[in-house]
Amino acid sequence: MSLAGKTVVVGVSGGIAAYKAPEVVRLLVQDGAAVRVVLTRGAEEFVTPLTLQTLSGQPVSRHTFDLTEESEIGHIRLADSADVLLIAPATANLIAKLTAGMADDLLTTVALATRAPVVLAPAMNVHMYANPAVQHNLARLVELGRIVIEPDAGSLACGYEGVGRLPEAPVLVEEVRVVLSAKDLAGARVLVTAGPTWEALDPIRHIANRSSGKMGYAVARVARRRGAQVTLVSGPTALAPPRGVEVVAATSAREMEEAVLRAAPACDVIVMAAAVGDYRPAEPARHKIKRGRGELALQLVANPDILARVGALPGRRVLVGFAAETRDLVASARRKLQAKGVDLMVANDVTLEGAGFDVDTNIVSLLDRSGRVERLERMTKEAVASAILDRVARLRGARRSPALAGRDLPRLR
C-alpha cells in the first residue's frame, strides 16, 4: 500500500540507534507519507534536527514549551494530526515513562495525547533489554494497546552480541504499513506458495526455472498487512523472509506438494503463486555426472500437479492459481481455471516487458469462474497482490453474506 495521504509522526529518543531515524523518515516520505518528527533532548546528541527537517520537509518538534508551537498548543496538534506514532528507537527510559503515564517532554506528551496507534521499536543493550523491569514495562504497554516491534539480534554498538538492535528502516516502514492497512482479512488463514522448484540432476546440478519468488512474497506481505495469519511455502529464493509470516522451505516439487497438502486443510485462502517445475529427472545420479564425449540424454517424469490436488480437496476455501504463459494467455488460463477447480486465475504473459520473472512489476489478467476477465496494466507486484486480495476479500464476503444467498455467484469451495 502507498502511504499517500497518511501522517506519520516519528518520535526519536536518545539512543545510538537514532542514527537509523533519517532513513526511516526518508523511506516514509518516499512512500508518500507526510512525516512530522519529534526529537527528545537525548536524541539530539545522536542526530541533528536539520537532517530530519531536510528529509521530512517539515520543522522538527523538540521542546514542549517552544513558544511558536505552543501558541497553537503544538503537542495537541501533533497528536491529533497523526495517523500513527512511530517511536524508533524507544529507549528503556522512554518505555518506563510511557508505562507510568509520564509526560515530562514533548514526545511523551504527544504519546499520551494521541488517539492514533502508537508503535514502539525498542533498541538498547542486550542485558538492559532482558532486564525484568524492561520486559514488565513492555508487556504492560502491550496490554494498554501499544504495538511493540521486537528488536533484532546481532552486534550492538556497546560491543555485546544479542537481542537489542533496532530493525532496519524498511522493516520499520513495513510495520507502519501493517498498522495503517484495512484488516479485511482479519482472522483468515492464508497459504501462499512462491518461488521456483529445483529438481536434482546429481548432487551438484539441478533443473530449475527463472522465478524469483517476488510475486508470492508480495502476496504474503500484503495478506499479513490486511490481518491474515499467513503461511508462506517458498522454493529457493534470495529474498528475505517476510516479517510476521510463517515460512516453510521447500526445494523440489514433491517437497512443496507435501508442505502445501499438510497446511491446506486448515486454510481459508490459498494463493498458488509458485512456479512449480512440471518435470523432474526420473533417476537423479548419485554422483556428479562427468563430461563425456557424446550427448547426454535425460529421462524426465511428470511432477505432481499441486494446484489440481488442492482444487480437489474437500472444504470451502478460496483458491487462487497462477498461469505464466508465452502465448494464448486468456484461453490457456481459462482452461486451467476450469480444469483445476480454481476460483480466481492470475495470468501473465512473461514475454512482455515489465512482467514475469525477476522484476518488481507485473502485467496480469484476472479470470474468475463467471467468465469475467480483468486486465491490470503494468504495476508493482505489491499493487498486483493488493488487487488479487481485493478480489479474494470480495469472494469471501459474497460467500458469507446471507443477503447474497441464491444469487448466481462464482463457485467457491
Domain 7-180 adopts which CATH fold?
Rossmann fold (3.40.50)
pLDDT average, residue stretch 285-293 = 87
Task: Count Cα atoms within 13 angstroms, Cβ side, for 339.
Answer: 11
pLDDT average, residue stretch 39-63 = 95
Catalytic choice (100, 133, 139, 158): 158
Q: What is the largest CA-CA distance in the chain?
A: 87
Please tell me the predicted confidence (pLDDT) of residue 158. Answer: 83
Measured CA to CA, the distance from residue 295 to residue 144 in angstroms comes to 70
Measured CA to CA, the distance from residue 60 to residue 78 in angstroms comes to 11
C-alpha cell of 61? 518538534
Residue 347: beta bridge partners? 323, 365
CATH 3.40.50.1950 domain range(s) in the chain: 7-180
Please tell me the predicted confidence (pLDDT) of residue 148. Answer: 98
Q: Which residues, in sequence order, are CB contacts of 240 under 8 Å at separation 6+?
A: none
Measured CA to CA, the distance from residue 111 to residue 109 in angstroms comes to 5
> At residue 410, does pLDDT exceed 90?
no
Question: Contact at 8 Å (CB) between 76 and 57?
Answer: no
Please tell me the predicted confidence (pLDDT) of residue 131. Answer: 98
Share of the chain above pLDDT 70, in %: 94
**Any catalytic annotation for residue 158?**
yes
Render pLDDT for 227-257 as a digit per residue (tens, 0 to 9): 999 999 999 999 999 999 999 999 999 999 9
Please tell me the predicted confidence (pLDDT) of residue 224. Answer: 98
Render pLDDT for 8-41 as a digit per residue (tens, 0 to 9): 999 999 999 999 999 999 999 999 999 999 999 9
CATH 3.40.50.10300 domain range(s) in the chain: 189-404
Measured CA to CA, the distance from residue 410 to residue 130 in angstroms comes to 52
* Mean pLDDT taken over the chain: 92
CATH superfamily to which 189-404 belongs: CoaB-like (3.40.50.10300)
How far out from the chain centre does Cα 356 lie?
20
> At residue 153, does pLDDT exceed 70?
yes
Residue 65: which pLDDT band, with cuts at 50, 70 and 90?
A: low
C-alpha cell of 284? 537423479
Please tell me the predicted confidence (pLDDT) of residue 294. Answer: 82
> At residue 82, does pLDDT exceed 60?
yes
pLDDT average, residue stretch 262-290 = 95
> At residue 404, does pLDDT exceed 60?
no
Question: Contact at 8 Å (CB) between 166 and 20?
Answer: yes
Measured CA to CA, the distance from residue 410 to residue 13 in angstroms comes to 53
Please tell me the predicted confidence (pLDDT) of residue 72. Answer: 54
Please tell me the predicted confidence (pLDDT) of residue 74. Answer: 59
Three-state DSSP at 5 gives coil
Residue 66: which pLDDT band, with cuts at 50, 70 and 90?
A: low
Q: Which residue has the higher pLDDT, 71 or 165?
A: 165
Residue 176: beta bridge partners? none
Residue 120: which pLDDT band, with cuts at 50, 70 and 90?
A: very high
Residue 366: beta bridge partners? 346, 374
Q: Closest by alpha carbon to 89, among 35, 29, 166?
A: 166
Share of the chain above pLDDT 90, in %: 85
According to DSSP, the β-strands at 7-12 and 84-90 are: parallel
Please tell me the predicted confidence (pLDDT) of residue 1. Answer: 72
